[in-house]
Amino acid sequence: MSTRNAGQSLALGGLALAAAMAAVVGTAIGFEVIGGFIPCALCLDQRDPYYWGVPIALFGALAALVGWPAIIARAALVVAGLVMVYGLALGVYHAGVEWAFWPGPADCGAAAQSGIALDAGSLLADLDAVTPPACDEAAGRFLGLSFAGWNVLASAALAGMAFVLATRPAR
């Protein structure tokens, strides 16, 4: 494979990684908006790696597209993979809290702000009416896994994808 084809391969891989990350976090937001789930503080924390990872993967794709040295695109993909490893750790921590393997943060129920009005007249009433979920209670389970458990699997897959893309030899 020529250098140009290797760059195109890295670019496509970076774009695919960014799209997959955006799809995962978009699904989580969709459950909140469409499904009415209110995320707990740990759920919101688990989104951060995706918010960081998408632009990092896009940077790697852009670096490959414009013909910068492949090491730049590969480094961006490695960083995106490390960010997803951090996301995996957050998911394991949250799933462990849900399964009572270890305690969660003391202020876990206080961070969810979904559904609260932003106008001053309704703010206090809404704050009293909205009860954020506790981090130790799974909002639901699908095939035995909570959202945190599914995030562990998604983060592991995305980290693996990033590392494979970054280390795959140019042909």
pLDDT digits (tens, 9 = 90+) for 72-82: 999 999 999 99
Beta bridge partner(s), residue 145: 142
- Domain locations in the chain as residue ranges: 3-167
Best CA proximity match to 17, nearest among 90, 89, 76, 86: 76
Q: What is the pLDDT of residue 34?
A: 86
What string of DSSP letters covers 124-150? HHHHHH--PPPTTS-S--BTTB-HHHH
Give the CA dihedral 13, 164, 47, 85, nearest 10 degrees.
-160
SS3 of 8-69: the string is HHHHHHHHHHHHHHHHHHHHHHHHHHCCCCCCCHHHHHHHHHHHHHHHHHHHHHHHHHCCCC
Q: Is 95 exposed, middle or buried (0-12, 13-18, 19+ CB in 10 A)?
A: buried
Give the CA dihedral 158, 161, 166, 169, nearest 10 degrees.
180
Indicate yes or no: pTM above 0.85. no
Q: What is the pLDDT of residue 128?
A: 58
Intervals of the chain under pLDDT 50 = 1-2, 110-114
Instruction: Write down the residue that tokens 């202020």 correspond to.
Output: 107
Q: What is the pLDDT of residue 1?
A: 46
Beta bridge partner(s), residue 142: 145
